[in-house]
Amino acid sequence: MDLVCPAGSLPAFKKAVDSGANAVYVGFKDETNARHFSGLNFKEEKVTQALDYARAKGVKLFIAVNTYAQPEGWSKWQRAVDVAADIQADALICADMGVLDYASQTHPELNLHLSVQ
């Protein structure tokens, strides 16, 4: 059994890792993330820092792109998936079947998890 924890900031991420999480999931600072609240979540450079910390500690990093894509902003969801693949996240957590399809077609090496949003 694995302990998978959310983190909305780099200090929270490090605390989850240091407290024994096997994996930690994070979201980006935009509407692709269901926990898109002021003061929380990650810009791309912070995700890279979190990934480096996770790798050093033997912990997995998952990226949550767990909202439903909107047609007028589809490129934001594509970008979130592409960034997750580019940084070699351990998995992508998605709620939207279109986003999952895009991820599986564009980045077949990326592990995909279905969100229950």
pLDDT score at 26: 96
pLDDT score at 42: 87
Residues of the chain with pLDDT under 70: 117
CB atoms within 10 A of CB 11: 9
DSSP string across the chain: ---EEE-SSHHHHHHHHHTT-SEEEEEBSSTTSTT--TT-SB-HHHHHHHHHHHHHHT-EEEEEE-S---GGGHHHHHHHHHHHHHTT-SEEEES-HHHHHHHHHH-TTS-EEE---
pTM, whole model, 2 decimals?
Answer: 0.93
The distance of Cα 9 from the centroid of its chain, to the nearest Å, equals: 12
Paired tokens of 115: 């969100």
15-47: pLDDT as tens digits: 999 999 999 999 999 999 988 777 788 888 899
Residue that is written with structure tokens 């600072």 in the block: 29
